[in-house]
Amino acid sequence: MLESYLTGLLVCGGIIVAIGAQNAYILGQAIRREHHWWSAGLCMVSDIVLFSLGMFGVSAALMAMPDALEIMRWLGVAFLVWLAIQALVRASRGRAALESGEITRRSLKGVLFTTLAVTLLNPQVYLDTLLLIPAIGAQQENPATFVAGASSASILWFGALAWGGSALAPVLSRPMAWRVIDGVIGVMMAVIAIQLAVSGL
């Protein structure tokens, strides 16, 4: 039982860390202190739901719909390009007010919608959570404990991103630091979009 839990924790932890677009978005929200715990919590819940669905056989349905994955792929490319442009525009313009209390905050609804889009419009998320992870989980002695380990990895990782980004916000409040952060996030989003468009799934 413990072995299945640890396998889920370590294997799925590595997979979650590799989903760059989602991580970059959550980190940016945390540094801006803009509804970052809500955003991180939504990512945790999404992962837990997808892990559970994958273990209950949704992977078979996903494999039977390659056209749907292709549509999701191009929707994901378009959305990532849009996020990249937004971040790069912010980086080029700089920010007039950089202290946490002075930044124009988006609504909670807007942040949650964008978080869902970053999560669900990335086809790689489905391949990882509905295909790869269930394939590993099916080989475990206790699949339910494996899912618990995978869920724990998501909670720990996104919790660390939200806390760490928020804790670093005062240090990164200088104009140049914000421009570098937005620039890096923009480049990351663009690279992931290009990779998804060129290499496919």
Residue 38's pLDDT is what? 94
Residues shown for the chain: 201
Residue 12's pLDDT is what? 77
The predicted model gives 107-133 an average pLDDT of 81
pLDDT confidence bin for 23, thresholds 50/70/90: confident
CB atoms within 10 A of CB 19: 20
Check residues 81 and 103 and name the one with the higher pLDDT.
81
Q: Which residue range(s) make up the domain with 51?
A: 2-199
Highest-confidence segment of 16-20, 28-32, 60-64, 157-161? 157-161
| Total tally of structural domains belonging to the chain | 1
33 within 8 A of 175, measured Cβ to Cβ: no
Q: Is the pTM of this model over 0.95?
A: no
Return the structure tokens found at 196: 């998804």
What's the CA gap between 53 and 59, in Å, rounded? 8
Q: Which residue type occupies 113?
A: F
Residue 158's pLDDT is what? 93
**Range list of H helices, 54-174:** 59-63, 66-93, 108-120, 123-126, 133-137, 143-168
State the average pLDDT for the chain.
78
Q: Is the pLDDT of residue 173 over 70?
A: no
pLDDT in tens, 123-153: 777 777 777 777 777 777 787 888 889 899 9
Residue 42's pLDDT is what? 94
